[in-house]
Structure 1
């Protein structure tokens, strides 16, 4: 009988979902992306090869696994073609296994132009930290019911007409309101129609294909991008991404019913990171050598896959994790990058916040409230032994186990998987999501 697993980020993204999706794919026949766009960055290390993916699902590096891009993804087809080419250069066969929903809204040149111009117009304190990839404007067009979708590419005259109307509107905003350069209509049209010829053979009814696979007993893995605390509805708004990153979006963003989702795995680092703007209650100094935040930053190589920006680092945050558990209905947790904490003399866990004279144990909604939170810490002993590559729970240092067990007790969700390095084999399994 098929069992379907959903992987979501439990923090502000960058939790190491790509490795875990790749590791779990040996039990799946299909991997599905259901939201976000090429602002996602998933890094996979397989032997001596490293793969950096943005749009193509992480299961692509496993032979015989089909990969699906659902209708909830905003799609830059020019970027997708480049990504496919890079994978093919690395010896991975992509085109026969990649399935693209005709319902994906397209990201076109004017979306990224709007994204960059808007961010540049904001004051430094109010900048979201967007990747400038056009994700937000593309989702805006979708909600405004003017988006061009993949299925429009099959009708060039209709596509050209809709594009002209859209570009007249967006060029007015770019030039008259934002003081930026206009985007050339003919150039956008020619590029889109040329790119469409490459992806048309990969376009299928993803919803129907997933139902058929499930009916035939094939287990599926749904791969979230970004993290739950960046969710447009439930995150630290407005310092969030433009899509829903929570488990419920897997159904809407791929065209299946929620009853097809059997297990939700939340991925969280053994500490916290955040890239870009927005409140971060447990944040540490990452610039001063010898400090815990500096170790997290340097040993954890905390630089954005997409932008290369330094990620902010902080202690593990239980109230934030509780919010993620609540909005995702998590079945189990995976802790990544435990090895980054090796050698610290003590650990701190944020167990609550002081807010408006009270102690609260759940991350508030909205950036303004979160910005007012003062963390309440609990201190535990650190460990000097290395956890790099440890493959059994018993093989972890006693203090490392105590740290994990305290997190488990505070959040009331079992830790089923622990990652102790980037390689597939550097993983401790306590309970398998597919079994």
Structure 2
């Protein structure tokens, strides 16, 4: 029984949702392992654009019967229902019958969002603003902090009890008021949030499930029982795991502290989706797919060695602006402009070593169509010494000198190309170079925003 993991290989926004959408058409189950509605995937189908945040992208395919928000996730309940409603308004059928939430996932409160903003604003005064993380202000960090401090609220508490979760939320609010002061939280009313969540509780019960037996049954090859128009049916399982954010935003393996608050890599899959045996990845047809953008982008603060901006040269600033404009590089969740730079193979190789990719999906190749030259970072020099690994030391990253390989641009349209052979020769050479250097086959190549704009090799 195959299990496919789709993980971001850079700083997020690589285009994971499109591949998940394609693969979900043959999946019985699509799962989210970590993160919250700070994530963002955009999928374009028949001219309609769908934005996903906390919901698994498998909901766009009616044949995908189970979409699971796993234990490792944190869920803002109003956003969960708002997103379901938005999908229904765009014509998707049966989304509420195909979504489940682990009973061990944590609730992300409005309070967490308020506190997230307060903490980020306070960081502006640290080292002239260098202390800012650049969070989405969705409350993800404070929610995970409360989870680790053992004062959070899980979904089983919310739907099964009343006194405990209400007391916990009031205690959280009192603690944050003590920490930040009444003025900082003056726009927040804890009793109003409790009232709103009481109204959601009965409806939420239909979505909350025990995750471990569900996944254990699926990966054990016993089939997944799902409701259909013909009554109960058992489908041969094919599990698809949808990563959120990306490896360089992982709390342990990313550019700490400029990271998200969860494990976004391979390790987070197994902690966030208990019941999914690592042995399942040895099954025939199983793969770990690293999604790699044909250049590099980043949202928010933090180091970015190949970033193209005016501090390098006017030419480089122009290249960065062109990547941003042609690639439409705006965050799905925040709307912020993404910082843009060349492909960084040092970073991708590091990501590959951590996540053990077996295949690569190279996305947005078409964005490079009109460039006269295209560069790829092949190594770093730090204090004059060449490095072939991605350092943890952020001070070292600030001093890094990039070793580039320069390619002549193909300056022909690749948009909508269906086969590898139909790509311009220079584009094929670019893909083959990345494949050869990373040592992982490039299985898919994105050539446009639509579902069908994907080459499969």
* Displacement after TM superposition at 1:368 (Å): 2.7
Match of 2:111 in 1: 110
Give 3-state SS (helix, strand or coil) of 2:265's partner: coil
**1:174 touches 1:181 (CA, 8 Å); kept in 2?**
no
* Displacement after TM superposition at 1:208 (Å): 1.4
Match of 1:254 in 2: 273
Give 3-state SS (helix, strand or coil) of 2:42's partner: strand
Match of 1:163 in 2: 169
Return 5+ residue gaps in structure 2 as ranges: 224-235
Runs ≥4 in structure 1, deviation > 6 angstroms?
A: 286-290
Rounded to whole Å, the distance in 1 between the matches of 2:21 and 2:75 is: 22
Return 5+ residue gaps in structure 1 as ranges: 431-435
* Displacement after TM superposition at 1:285 (Å): 2.6
Are 1:22 and 2:21 counterparts? Answer: yes
After superposing the two structures, state which structure 1 stretch, 375-384 or 395-404, moved more: 375-384
Task: Please give the per-residue CA displacement for 1:237-265, whole angstroms capped at 9, x wherever unaligned.
Answer: 11111111101211110112222233110
Give 3-state SS (helix, strand or coil) of 1:79's partner: helix
Rounded to whole Å, the distance in 1 between the matches of 2:56 and 2:374 is: 35
Rounded to whole Å, the distance in 1 between the matches of 2:327 and 2:98 is: 33
Are 1:370 and 2:371 counterparts? Answer: no
**2:216 touches 2:277 (CA, 8 Å); kept in 1?**
no
Match of 1:272 in 2: 296
Give 3-state SS (helix, strand or coil) of 2:181's partner: helix
Rounded to whole Å, the distance in 2 between the matches of 1:365 and 1:195 is: 43
Match of 1:433 in 2: none
Match of 1:346 in 2: 373
Q: Which one of the candidate residues 322, 340, 343 is aligned to 1:316?
A: 343
1:115-154 to 2 correspondences below 5 Å: 115-123=116-124, 124-153=129-158, 154=160
* Displacement after TM superposition at 1:413 (Å): 1.2
User: What's the TM-score once normalised by structure 2's chain length?
Assistant: 0.91
Rounded to whole Å, the distance in 2 between the matches of 1:138 and 1:222 is: 23
* Displacement after TM superposition at 1:169 (Å): 1.2
Give 3-state SS (helix, strand or coil) of 1:95's partner: helix
Rounded to whole Å, the distance in 2 between the matches of 1:288 and 1:19 is: 34
User: What's the TM-score once normalised by structure 1's chain length?
Assistant: 0.95
Rounded to whole Å, the distance in 2 between the matches of 1:109 and 1:40 is: 17
1:7-406 to 2 correspondences below 5 Å: 7-65=6-64, 66-92=66-92, 93-123=94-124, 124-153=129-158, 154-175=160-181, 179-181=184-186, 183-214=188-219, 215=221, 216=223, 217-255=236-274, 256-261=276-281, 262-285=286-309, 291-406=318-433
Rounded to whole Å, the distance in 1 between the matches of 2:80 and 2:169 is: 20
**1:81 touches 1:195 (CA, 8 Å); kept in 2?**
no
**1:116 touches 1:132 (CA, 8 Å); kept in 2?**
yes
Give 3-state SS (helix, strand or coil) of 1:201's partner: coil
Rounded to whole Å, the distance in 1 between the matches of 2:7 and 2:331 is: 18
Give 3-state SS (helix, strand or coil) of 1:68's partner: strand
**2:144 touches 2:262 (CA, 8 Å); kept in 1?**
yes
**2:26 touches 2:63 (CA, 8 Å); kept in 1?**
no
- Tell me the number of residue pairs that the alignment of Structure 1 and Structure 2 aligns: 428
Match of 2:440 in 1: 413
Over the residues paired in the alignment, what is the CA RMSD in angstroms? 1.6
* Displacement after TM superposition at 1:367 (Å): 2.6
Match of 2:233 in 1: none
